[in-house]
Amino acid sequence: MAPSGQAAFASYDDGPFTPLGDLDLLASSEYTTLTHPVFPRYNVRVKQSNFCDGGVRAYTGYIDVQARHLFFYFFESRRDPNMDDVIFWTNGGPGASSTMGLFMELGPCRVTDANTTKSHPHSWNEHANIFFVDQPVGVGFSYAEYGETVSTTHEAAEDIAAFMTIFFEHFTKFKGRALHLAGESYGGRYIPVFAATIYDKNTQLVDAGLTPINLTSIMIGNGCTDFASMYPSYYDVQCQDPTFPAIQSVADCVRMKQLVPRCTKRYQESCIDKLDSIDCTAAVAFCSTAMSELFVGLNHYDRARPCKGAADITECYPIVKDIGDYLSNPDIQERLGVDPAARGNFSHGTPSVNLAFRQHLDHWGFPAQYYISALLERGMRALIYVGATDYICNWIGNERMTLALEWTKQEEFRGEPLREWMVEGQVAGVTRSGGGLTYATISGAGHMAPYDKPVESLELANRWLAGELL
């Protein structure tokens, strides 16, 4: 059903399920609606929306879950859309629009002002077809008609699993094509659960006589996956990072060091051994204050690039304001096919979504790293990459998380020493691989690594897609 106030759309099939077959059949003037018998509550509306980079075909649309509507972008590969793998990308937050990834980091164009974009030569669609999805509902151009919300990662995963199934089933050239789920920041919690949900639902697809999704890997960039590893690391990245000068004074570092075991103990007892809403919230507040209060006013996304702080990301990264201005442009919204209910001023972040996830303890209420272990156990590959100068989801916390993962091939990974990886004859960072898991740093990059180091980030992605070690 089209949302209230929306013009009528072309509907491909109202009867028994038949795949649409080819992206060429999509119109540019109106949406085509796709359905799937396994997911009766879901429709996908999609149209051609050639923008951003005239060298590849682009599509936009909505994932309609009754009265909830999630906006997405899809770009074909520059190299070979008929053969190249598929990447799903989400930013984090929770509540951050994936247009940050699209227009600032790894998409086929970058915004230059409120009206224009320029081609981005180091886009990850060089060798892959790629989705950018504004999720959960309420983020970016996604909206709900009657105030419906999604406030946990597991709820959000159901929507993404249904969407991927509908897409792969309708556009038959993608059937069996390798799918890689990628995300950044809170994507470190999203992506393992999204992947596990798709993996588990493949059984349902097989039972229905449909083609399972060829889920091949997960790719997590600067992820905050496990806060039990991340909170203590805030001491390290301020006071004893072997790759970066100490930020705080000796006296402050000594005081913070004394608080690390107290933070660890309180978090373990209240958020891991048992999940108590009041006690876990108190433990998190203690850890946040003890480990990060001295970092207030600094750039949480990059220790090497001082600015006025993280309260307003546009102070540190003016391109974010340019993206907001561009996507607030009525002509651009018309071109993209944004529903009338979602038009108006665009915001890169939605605080209410973040608050809802926090209130449901989604940040701390489940061990996302266990999902990575379970996926590795089932033969899936996992890439954990980190911009080396990030603060908020830093390399030290991520390396500790990877070394603590438990699966049957864990010793293959732990037994490998860190080694340098190279791009164009220059050291790009350090890496460790084994048992299907790869951990890598990107030197000179912060939280948004593909923005800071586009050449190295693309090389990393292309090697990963090709199945090569760094």
Catalytic residue among 77, 185, 233, 292: 185
**φ and ψ at 416, to 5 degrees?**
-85, 130
Q: Are 281 and 292 within 8 A, CB to CB? A: no
CA distances from 329 to 72, 300, 343, 415 (A): 18, 29, 9, 53
Please state, in angstroms and rounded to a whole number, the distance separating the CA atoms of residues 401 and 228: 9
Please state, in angstroms and rounded to a whole number, the distance separating the CA atoms of residues 60 and 230: 36
Q: Which amino acid is at 397?
A: G
Peptide bond into 94 cis (omega under 30): yes
191: left (phi over 0), alpha (psi -120 to 50) or beta: alpha
Q: Are 244 and 446 within 8 A, CB to CB? A: no
For 396, other C-beta atoms within 10 Å of its C-beta total: 21
CA distances from 216 to 119, 176, 212 (A): 29, 10, 12
Please state, in angstroms and rounded to a whole number, the distance separating the CA atoms of residues 298 and 374: 37
Q: Is 180 a catalytic residue?
A: no
Catalytic residue among 390, 443, 452, 457: 390
Q: Is 84 a catalytic residue?
A: no
Give the CA dihedral 383, 179, 184, 189, nearest 10 degrees: -80
Catalytic residue among 292, 373, 447, 457: 447
Six-digit token string for 29:
């003037």
Q: Is 69 a catalytic residue?
A: no
For 257, other C-beta atoms within 10 Å of its C-beta total: 14
Please state, in angstroms and rounded to a whole number, the distance separating the CA atoms of residues 272 and 292: 21
Please state, in angstroms and rounded to a whole number, the distance separating the CA atoms of residues 27 and 7: 15
Nearest Cα neighbor of 114 from 332, 340, 317, 314 is 332
CA distances from 429 to 17, 140, 205, 245 (A): 49, 33, 40, 17
CA distances from 27 to 33, 47, 76, 248, 342 (A): 11, 6, 16, 57, 21
Annotated catalytic residues are 185, 390, 447
